[in-house]
Amino acid sequence: MVNVRNLPDQELFYGHKACQGCGAATAARLVLKITGERTFLAYPASCISTVSTIYLQMAFAVPSLTMAFPATGAVLSGMAAAVKAKKLENVTVLGIAGDGGTADIGLQALSGAVERGDKILYVCYDNEAYMNTGVQRSSLTPYGAWTTTTPIGENEDSFGKRKFKKNLFEIMMAHRIPYCATASVSYPVDFLNKIEKAKDTDGPSFIHVMAPCPTGWGFPSDRTIEIGRLAVETGLWYLAEYENNKVKMNLVPKTFKPVEEYLKKQKRFKHLTDEHIAIIEKHRDEEWATMGQRYGF
C-alpha cells in the first residue's frame, strides 16, 4: 500500500512547461513515482508531449518517446514485444495519453493492444477536451460544456456539447481487461495505489484518471484539486476498480452535493440554465441507479 509516508521522493517528471495547476502533469508525475526508473514511456501528440519533450528540453527522466496521435496502444504493444524479445525483466511499459488520444483517435490501437493481452499500463488523463490544440470537443467532453468547437452561438438550442460523455471505463471492461480503474488526481492515495496494482498486473491494465484543466475549464490554477474533488462529491465522476470480473466502487457518497457547486465554478459551464442543470442532475441519478443495480452497491 502506498501512503503519504512511504511515497517515493524521487521525481521523474520535472522542468516541464505545463500550465500552472495542470491536472495532467500532476497525473504523469504521480504515475512515474510508482512505476519508477525502470519504465519505458510512450505518449501521443498531446499536452504531455508538448510540455515535456520539445528539443532540447527533455522533462522525463525515464526513456520516453512521442508517438503519433492514434498510435499509443500499438507502440506500447511493440515495446512490450521487444521487452519479451530482449528478455528484460521488472520493467513497466507505460502509456500516458489524453482523452482524445485515448477515447477517440487512439481507441482502435488501445482496443487492439488490450485484446492481444499485451503487458502494458495505459493511463488516460481526462481533461475532457483537446486541450493541446486549444479546447476542442472530444467524446469525453461532458454535456453542456463550452469548447471552441461547441461554442455558444446564436442558435436557440446552442448550449455547448449536446451529448453526454462516452463511458470509457465500461468500454475497457467490455474487453475483459485484467485490471481497469477510474481515478482522480484529487484523490492521490487512491490513484497511487491503483497505479501500483496496475503495474503488477500480468497483462494489460488501464486507468482513467480525471485531470482538471484550469486553462480549458476556466478556474483559478490553485483550485485544481478542489474542482476534482467536487466532481466526485457531486457524483459527476466516480472512483471504481474492475478486476476478476467484478466492479468495486471505492467511494460512494451518501448524498451528492448539488451539481451547481461544481458547474458554477467553471467558465465552460457558466452559460447553463437551470433546465440544463436539471438534465445533468437527472442523468447523474440515472447513471448511479444503473451502476448500483449492475455492480451491487
Q: Which parts of this chain interact with other proteins (CB under 8 A)?
A: 37-38, 40, 42, 49-50, 52-56, 58, 60-68, 70-71, 73-86, 88, 91, 108-109, 111-112, 115-116
CB of 35 to other proteins, least distance (A): 12
Closest CA to 239 of 227, 228, 223: 228
Minimal distance in Å, beta carbon 193 to other proteins? 25
Nearest by Cα to 26 from 217, 229, 209: 209
Which stretch of DSSP H or E encloses residue 263?
helix 260-263
Residue 176 or 264 with smaller CB distance to other proteins: 176
How far is 167 from 172, CA to CA, in rounded Å?
9
Nearer to other proteins, 55 or 274 (CB): 55
Q: For residues 105 and 129, which CB has a smaller minimum distance to other proteins in the complex?
A: 105
Cell of 262: 461544481
| 77/147 with CB nearer other proteins | 77
Distance separating the N- and C-terminal Cα atoms of the chain: 24
CB of 123 to other proteins, least distance (A): 17
Task: Return the SS3 of 13.
Answer: strand
Q: What is the DSSP-derived secondary structure letter of residue 100?
A: I
Report the residue number, 68 or 249, with the smaller CB distance to other proteins: 68
Q: How far is the CB of 174 from other proteins (least distance, A)?
A: 16
- Report DSSP state, residue 115: H
Give the Cα separation of 227 and 214 in Å (integer).
9
Shortest distance, position 281 Cβ to other proteins, whole Å: 39
